[in-house]
Amino acid sequence: MGRLCDKMDADLKLVGHSELTRRHYLSHVRRFVKFHMRPPEEMGEAEVRAFLLHLVALHRAQGTLLVYIGALRFLYTVTLGRPEVMATVPWPKDRRRPPEILTVGEVTRVIEAASSPFWRVFLTTAYATGMRREELARLRAGDIDSRAGLIRVQRGKGGKSRAVMLDPGLLTTLRAHWRLHRLPGPWLFPAQAHGAWRDHPVDLAVASAAFRQAADAAGIQQRVTLHGLRHAFATHLLEDGVDLLTIQRLLGHADLKTTAIYAQVRTDRIRATKSPLANLPQP
């Protein structure tokens, strides 16, 4: 299994998958092997279906099932060169609930409730740019193009690069952040241990926990994660009249259908919308 994992990891790198995706795919394949206690080369469609039905019986979330299928599809189609194994395995319907969207006021409360100036700037940057948490964690000082007013996102999801807007207020905040913490570079949000900055980005789990702590302190009741700031970024831009194609480019989505999820209208906007009844003559 060790050699197969190495080959699959190399294939994932060549395709351009992120480190997080590679880690998840390899972990899911190992669970598949452990379930059957047989090498993947000796298994086929029947074993894949049995494993997926096992996950369904365990009531695994819809999104989790999709990742498992993606991992097994990559294993058999790319790494093992046996696409027929997954050819008739169906994708489950995506019944995930639409994301909970924070209002501008709620975003403000979360940022203000951050446990330290470091995390306050981290959360501010997440909302101001719509970057994914792994993109934000890997942000370097050299990615800030102050002359062009852009932030260069290097190797985003799928290995793709893009640019996002650099708000003048965010630039001022990031410069103050750099000076306050005396960061050695190149990372804008490095990990810290024993009072010293490390030469690698902050851990993603630590960043997510910092957001959850701030959300709890702010009294946020919705089931929202750090990714919720990215959802809020996109939704608030849409509500301000920015077109979906521009938002698609800012988010780095390959498919406009993915971006279109933000076309949903928040319930507070629905409540504030005036009924056309008000335009009719009153009896």
* Active site annotation includes 262: yes
CB–CB of 19/56 below 8 Å? Answer: no
Q: Are strands 196-201 and 190-193 parallel, antiparallel or unpaired?
A: antiparallel
And the tokens for 95?
């019944």
* Active site annotation includes 132: yes
10 Å CB burial of residue 93 (0-12, 13-18, 19+) is exposed
Provide Rg for the chain, Cα atoms: 22
Q: How many CA atoms lie within 13 A of 212 on its CB side?
A: 8
- The catalytically annotated residue of 54, 198, 212, 227 is 227
- The catalytically annotated residue of 133, 230, 231, 236 is 230
Q: Which residues pair with 163 in a beta bridge?
A: 152
* Active site annotation includes 177: no
And the tokens for 89?
């395995």
- The catalytically annotated residue of 132, 138, 231, 236 is 132
- Residue 190 φ then ψ, to 5°: -80, 160
* Active site annotation includes 175: no
Return the closest-CA partner of residue 67 out of 52, 79, 45, 47: 52
- The catalytically annotated residue of 157, 162, 177, 231 is 157
* Active site annotation includes 3: no
Return the closest-CA partner of residue 45 out of 14, 92, 84, 81: 84
Active-site annotation, residues: 132, 157, 227, 230, 253, 262
